[in-house]
A = this chain, B = another copy of it.
Amino acid sequence: MKISINQINPIIGDFEHNLSLVSEAVRKASLSGCDLAVFPELTLMGYPPKDLLEKPAFIKRNLEYLEKISKESLSIGIICGFVDINKSEKGKPLINGVAFLQNGKIIYTGGKKLLPSYDVFDETRYFEPAEHSLYFVLNGIRIGVTICEDIWNVGDIENLHRYSVDPVEELAQKGIDILINISASPYTIKKPSLRMKVLEKIASKYGLPIIYCNQVGGNDDLVFDGSSMVVDKTGRPVLRGNEFHADTLMWESDADYQSLPAPWTEEEKSIINCLTLGTRDYVTKCGFKKVLVGLSGGLDSSLVAYIAMKALGPENVTGISMPSPYTSELSKKCAKVLAKNLGIHFDEIPIADIFDSYKTALSPAFKGLKENETEENLQARIRGSLLMAMSNKFNALLLTTGNKSETATGYCTLYGDMCGALAVISDVPKTICYRVAAFINREKEIIPQEIIDRPPSAELRPNQTDQDSLPPYDMLDQLIEAIVEKNLSFEEIIEQGYDPAITKDTFRRIVINEYKRRQASPGLKVTSKAFGYGRRYPIARRGEFF
């Protein structure tokens, strides 16, 4: 049997566009003599549709499009994700479903039994667990189809969730020859190796080849990496789809394959590709072509400008430097050289006169009071307003440049440098920003080395550096990981040898700055716990820091 595995990049809610992607892939698979074409979870609506699932008309349209695609299954079988109706009178009204289409009809359906409800996943909000997985026999071969989380109940792998049902075990009991998993599994730094572990474990436990078909593309904060795979019945990976690009794999069940070497991609490269796809898809799926980046001459904005250039082409990126009297000559120079190296447009708008006009307007109210953080924030907000004015006038999305270390500690100005449609690196800790910058420069200096070497500064007062307010970034990032990703307590962290005062202050900063993050733009997720949709904290709270 020959199977095509299609990692498509759908647009959420755009049934017509997504149907065209599926049709095209089905045609190609058919021409290549495939017996079956496989597509990712919720194929025609894209994942995650979120509360669109609460719109009855949206569900109805999804069923109409499943009918449409079934008409294309005349010479080939199709496995297509869709949203089914829960026919029982109890429980959530929908099923995260999958259909086997053949001879122009919907032949069998099944659904997802394990519904993730953690981090960015809210599936129990909409779906009831399916009563059965999709199972069918094609050309004498017995095929079982699971959906994403269904294969993640494998036990003894760290941090996996605990379910009382194991859909893989159930299918294996029933007797299958091939296990298929259709997924919409977003990228995080550790995900590729974790996914491999799960597939290896299942294949070798049951002696089954596994086809893993994953969605690709950026949808708001989530970037789906594709990286579809086939592992043979010993658990060795034999085919692998492109990472962060739409792709098709063709697998023949009776052919011999060599095992692929691992690891596949350097971590820094994956992060760059993730951010690039996430940025490109957010901008274009929102209907824009052009972006703006405020260039400070520092590392973060340089990285974001680089990603934007890769994502959209240098002709669609404008870097804007907005110097104040506190901006060093080096910063101005670095911003210019970076823009030149990247080949992007460059503009400079000084802010001193605007800053003065605010100070004049506020002088009656501020009479007798010293300058303090108010005036620092004001500069950041002037820059935010200028960038938004450029964004409005030239129909270009503004990209935000804060990193995860800043976002965690609130070392940023709400309505200032936090302005923007997408926070490209808000889930990338500063220490990883440095690693990524070094990777970008590995063959040729693209980001001026001075930008990487100089001490980070917000330049909102004379001779300011980040480390006036924050602990060294390597320590800070470890603390943020311990608190935000690992949910360790103050006591547990101290036991590892960290300074109690610094640890306490880091807890405090993370807790009290929730209000800023609540108003942040979506940020591309790359770690196991990003701020935003997958991390939900109260703002008005008190007592001990947790």
A residues with a Cβ closer than 8 A to B are 11-17, 48-52, 54-58, 61, 89-91, 93, 117-118, 122, 124-125, 162-164, 218-220, 281-282, 285-287, 347, 349-351, 353-354, 356-358, 360-362, 364-366, 369, 372-374, 377-378, 381-382, 384-386, 388-390, 392-393, 414-415, 419, 421, 487, 489-492, 515, 518-522, 533, 535-544, 546
Are B415 and A393 in contact, CB atoms less than 8 angstroms apart? no
CB distance from A322 to the nearest CB of B (A): 9
A55/B487 contact (C-beta < 8 A), A349-B361, A377-B389, A415-B384 known: yes
Q: A292 to nearest B CB, angstroms? A: 11
Cβ-closest chain B residue relative to A288? B540
A366/B393 contact (C-beta < 8 A), A90-B163, A540-B281 known? yes
Contact A219 B538 (CB under 8 A): yes
Contacts of A285 in B (CB 8 A): 540-542
23 residue pairs of the A-B complex, CB under 8 angstroms, read: A13-B544, A15-B543, A15-B544, A17-B542, A17-B543, A50-B537, A51-B535, A55-B546, A90-B163, A124-B124, A282-B540, A353-B360, A353-B361, A358-B389, A372-B393, A373-B392, A377-B388, A381-B381, A382-B385, A415-B415, A421-B515, A522-B539, A533-B536
Establish whether residues B51 and A542, one from each chain, have CB atoms under 8 Å apart when the complex forms: no
Q: A15-B544, A521-B518, A542-B17 are in contact. Are A537 and B52 (CB under 8 A)?
A: yes
Set of chain B residues within 8 Å of A52, measured between Cβ atoms: 537-538, 541, 546
Once bound together, how far apart are the Cα atoms of A522 and B515, in whole Å? 9
A82 CB, nearest partner CB in chain B, Å: 16
Smallest CB gap from A358: residue in B: B354
- Chain B neighbourhood of A536, CB < 8 A: 50-51, 122, 533
Chain B residue numbers with a CB within 8 Å of A522 are 518, 539
Chain B residues within an 8 Å CB radius of A55: 487, 489, 546
Min CB–CB distance A347 → chain B (angstroms)? 6
Bound: A57/B118 CA distance, A: 19
A538 touches B49 (CB 8 A): yes
Kindly name the residue among A14, A52, A393, A544 whose own CB sees the greatest number of chain B CB atoms within 10 A. Answer: A393
With A48-B538, A415-B384 as given contacts, are A489 and B57 in contact (CB-CB < 8 Å)?
Answer: yes
Chain B residues contacting A364 (CB-CB under 8 Å) are 349
Considering the chains assembled together, what is the distance between the CA atoms of A360 and B389 in angstroms?
A: 13
Beyond known contacts A12-B541, A91-B164, A285-B542: 13 more, CB 8 A cutoff = A11-B543, A13-B543, A14-B542, A52-B537, A57-B492, A117-B122, A218-B540, A219-B538, A286-B515, A287-B542, A365-B393, A384-B415, A385-B415
Contact A14 B377 (CB under 8 A): no
A14→B90 contact, CB < 8 A: no
CB distance from A422 to the nearest CB of B (A): 9
CB nearest to A419 among chain B residues: B415
Is there contact, CB below 8 Å, between B12 and A540? yes
Q: Which residues of B are found within 8 Å of A537, using beta-carbon distances?
A: 50-52
CA distance A385 to B89 in the complex (A): 53
The chain B residue with its CB closest to the CB of A282 is B540
Most chain B C-beta atoms within 10 Å of own C-beta, residue among A364, A388, A533: A388
Question: What B residues does A492 contact at CB under 8 A?
Answer: 57
Given known A55-B487, A538-B12, A546-B52, contact A358–B372 (CB-CB < 8 A): no
